[in-house]
Structure 1
Amino acid sequence: MHTKRRKILFYCQSLVGLGHLTSSLLVIRELLAYADVDLIHGGQGLQHMPELPGFRQLRLPRILIDSASDELYAPDRDDSIETVWAERAAAIERFVDWPYDAVIVEFFPFGRRRLKKEILGLFASVRQQCGAIPIFCFVREILVPAPLAAEQRMLQLVREHIHTVFVRGDPAIVRFEETFSLTAEIADRLVYVGYVSPPSPASLPTRQSKIVVSQGGGEIGKALLRAAVQTAPLLPDYQFLVVVSSRATAGEIAELQRLVQSSNVQVVSFLSNFQEHLQTAALSISLGGDNTLMDVISTRTPALAYPYAGNSEQGLRIEKLVGKGFVFPLTENDLVPERLSVKVRETIKQTYPQQAIAIYGAAEISQRIRVILEGGCCGN
């Protein structure tokens, strides 16, 4: 049976880091098999967005969170935040190409409360232009714990607006109710789809004596990179590939280069083929960010993770994966060369767990949406 090509509107806003956008793009690649996708995004952006048939994207004027004051600010502008909000609203209005068959919103209403007005405005336009089309939410499996009153507001928004909540995670590792106490109230709309990861390679190449040390897309993690560079002389039989954040300045990269005391260290500012490097690595050392962990697991690479103290979500995910033997944790005390070198050797010797983790979330979300749309399901 030949079905018509669909049109999907996708909204993703990263206020810190790149993980949310990266995951969204993996889902979009799957959706493009049967739908044209219009992506509205803001916050941190990739240096090179993909150009794909059927894919349009709108990069909104950036709004980020100031980690010191916890206030929103527009990093590229001197205008007031109200002016930037108005510009974003106008840009969205010009970009949308009504009608759509479905909408996907990343994270909201479980997060992005500061963008609530913009998102609910978009929902209102959708209802006006398209009627009761399904709105899907796409959320990670671990939330930052919130007071009960805040959880009740999230629950109300799901009930009012969201057709299905797709949880990117594997309940055998972490269950949604561990960080969202009202999960039972939305059990009828909640589906675990597995982690959103690039597909596993059909076969893994031979591991080399290479250690990939990565900072991820944010500004944290400099201490981890410094520790790895200083540990390299104690592990001369390994090559260290140190990948700094795409946001690192030339000065920060030069500062790290100055610490290099051995010939087995290479500092790079970006790796387009990160997963391929992991496939041949003896070990990954990282902050244990969402996307890095998925890359590590899909390539079955032994891993050390140093969770960022300010992010309870990453800490809990790492703790759960440590419990299953997929990752080994680092603490601040381990960031001295003598201790880190011992941790490296111990972790490389460990037997990799046999248990499989559900990592095909992007394909699963795409397939489930396709079934809903072809079943003529009309929303809540």
Structure 2
Amino acid sequence: MQSKRRKILFYCQSLVGLGHLTSSLLVIRELSTYADVDLIHGGQGLQLMPELPGFRHLRLPTILIDSASDELYAPEGDKHIDAVWTERAAAINEFVNWPYDAVMVEFFPFGRRRLKKEILGLFAAVRQRCGAIPIFCFVREILVPAAVEAERRMVKLVREHIHTVFVRGDPNIVRFEETFSLTAEIANRLVYVGYVSPPPPANWPTRQNKIVVSQGGGEIGKTLLRAAIQTAPMLPDYNFLIVTSSRASVTEIAELQALVRSPNVQVVSFLNDFQENLQSAALSISLGGDNTLMDVISTRTPALAYPYAGNSEQGLRIEKLAGKGFVYPLTETDLVPERLSVKIRKTINQTYPQQAIAINGAAEISRRISVILEGEFCED
């Protein structure tokens, strides 16, 4: 039992999409049972943040990554990037409420290298104001492969700053060393906690003849949605719920609706109850983003996934899960309606695997941090 309510500073910066923030909020929900959490986050924001006891959050001036140039830019207004960095530093300084008992940083030092100065500056302030409190890292189980020299820099930062590296994944599906060759050098600080997913429902609804088709973002996602809409007339006994990105414009949604040729298709821009829809669905078709796949697995929903060719992390996760029968991959040639309709029927009729996957990562991270804070913390 906790002897007192704790205070935790949490840093999460998304450069593309909402996945990192969504996972972080699931962890924060668990931490809030015994700790007040101050979240510093950047990137695309949610329309509605959760209301939790002792939860405060600061959304930093936005910095995103340009997929064409691979450079950071400020999407809001015409401000120079240096001015945005200055604004962010001032916002952080005003927001923090010292002291803290621990710090959690999402992904760094295994990613977010462009934010290294900001993050290390925060670490330095933590050391100055709070002393040797534990700093935790929370990272997905698959990384984009990096050169050994870059991995060595990551190892050095872990040794200098990170108490525990929480890996959101199940080693029975994929191991961290498969995409990070120097894992052995930080093995004493690395813990698999399971995938981070909302808990499965207490009561399972009846499956319906409903297929949920969702995209992440970009042209690849639109290709998948278009293929599903064009396939729907061949499967009149199923209702297709087509979920565009919340960032889809009115024009983009209208273009999809113009493709509809059968009454069993509904196009929506966003689902607040996405997981609830999966619980009653016969099938999920998606780009295979890690958050979507965890929703699919926690609801035990048969799934087809069309991995984005430019994302090796996504493709490898789908490959590993496909090897266990939890998801079936789609290729570009499968997006022809005749082929896709066959894939859909075949996947729905497959026997779902009995193997369990660890998906309680948020609760496990919270539990382990609680144990560490209640114990005698000391640095190596």
The equivalent of 1:323 in structure 2 is: 323
The equivalent of 1:92 in structure 2 is: 92
1:188 equivalenced with 2:183 (yes/no): no
**AA paired with 2:299?**
T
**AA paired with 1:117?**
K
1:218 CA displacement: 6.1
The equivalent of 2:110 in structure 1 is: 110
1:10 aligned counterpart, secondary structure: strand
Superposed, which structure 2 residues align to 1:294-373 within 5 Å? 294-373=294-373
The equivalent of 1:60 in structure 2 is: 60
1:379 CA displacement: 3.9
1:205 CA displacement: 1.6
Q: Deviations over 1:117-155 (max 9, x none)?
A: 000000000000000000000000000000000000000
1:221 aligned counterpart, secondary structure: helix
1:51 CA displacement: 2.1
Q: Distance in 1 between matches of 2:69 and 2:20?
A: 22
1:57 CA displacement: 0.2
RMSD, matched Cα = 1.0
The equivalent of 1:171 in structure 2 is: 171
Evaluate the alpha carbon distance shift between residue 220 and residue 75 of structure 1 in structure 2; reply closer, same or farther with a 3 A threshold: farther
1:34 CA displacement: 0.3
Q: Distance in 1 between matches of 2:125 and 2:91?
A: 14
The equivalent of 1:50 in structure 2 is: 50
- Contact 2:302-2:348 at 8 Å conserved across structures: yes
- Contact 2:174-2:317 at 8 Å conserved across structures: yes
1:80 equivalenced with 2:74 (yes/no): no
Q: Distance in 1 between matches of 2:379 and 2:50?
A: 30
Q: Distance in 2 between matches of 1:158 and 1:363?
A: 23
The equivalent of 1:40 in structure 2 is: 40
Instruction: State TM-score, norm by structure 2.
Output: 0.99
Superposed, which structure 2 residues align to 1:8-19 within 5 Å? 8-19=8-19
The equivalent of 2:210 in structure 1 is: 210
**AA paired with 2:271?**
L
Evaluate the alpha carbon distance shift between residue 199 and residue 48 of structure 1 in structure 2; reply closer, same or farther with a 3 A threshold: same
- Contact 2:163-2:379 at 8 Å conserved across structures: yes
Gaps of 5+ in 2: none
**AA paired with 1:333?**
T
Q: Distance in 2 between matches of 1:324 and 1:301?
A: 14
**AA paired with 1:303?**
A
Q: Deviations over 1:145-203 (max 9, x none)?
A: 00000000000000000000000000000000000000000010000000000001123
Gaps of 5+ in 1: none
- Contact 1:219-1:245 at 8 Å conserved across structures: no
Q: Distance in 2 between matches of 1:39 and 1:335?
A: 41
- Contact 2:2-2:34 at 8 Å conserved across structures: no
Superposed, which structure 2 residues align to 1:142-153 within 5 Å? 142-153=142-153
Q: Distance in 2 between matches of 1:340 and 1:218?
A: 21
Q: Deviations over 1:234-271 (max 9, x none)?
A: 00000000000011111101110100111000000110
1:242 aligned counterpart, secondary structure: strand
**AA paired with 1:141?**
E
- Contact 2:236-2:264 at 8 Å conserved across structures: yes
1:2 CA displacement: 5.6
The equivalent of 1:200 in structure 2 is: 200
1:47 CA displacement: 1.5
1:217 CA displacement: 5.8
- Contact 2:2-2:370 at 8 Å conserved across structures: no
**AA paired with 2:47?**
Q
- Contact 1:16-1:218 at 8 Å conserved across structures: no
- Contact 2:169-2:194 at 8 Å conserved across structures: yes
Aligned structure 1 segments of 4 or more residues deviating by more than 2 angstroms: 216-220
Between the two proteins, the alignment pairs up a number of residues equal to 380
1:376 CA displacement: 2.8
- Contact 1:18-1:218 at 8 Å conserved across structures: no
1:240 equivalenced with 2:240 (yes/no): yes
1:33 aligned counterpart, secondary structure: coil
Q: Distance in 2 between matches of 1:16 and 1:218?
A: 11
Q: Distance in 2 between matches of 1:146 and 1:217?
A: 25
Instruction: State TM-score, norm by structure 1.
Output: 0.99
1:136 aligned counterpart, secondary structure: strand
1:150 aligned counterpart, secondary structure: helix
**AA paired with 1:273?**
D
Q: Distance in 1 between matches of 2:55 and 2:259?
A: 43
The equivalent of 1:284 in structure 2 is: 284
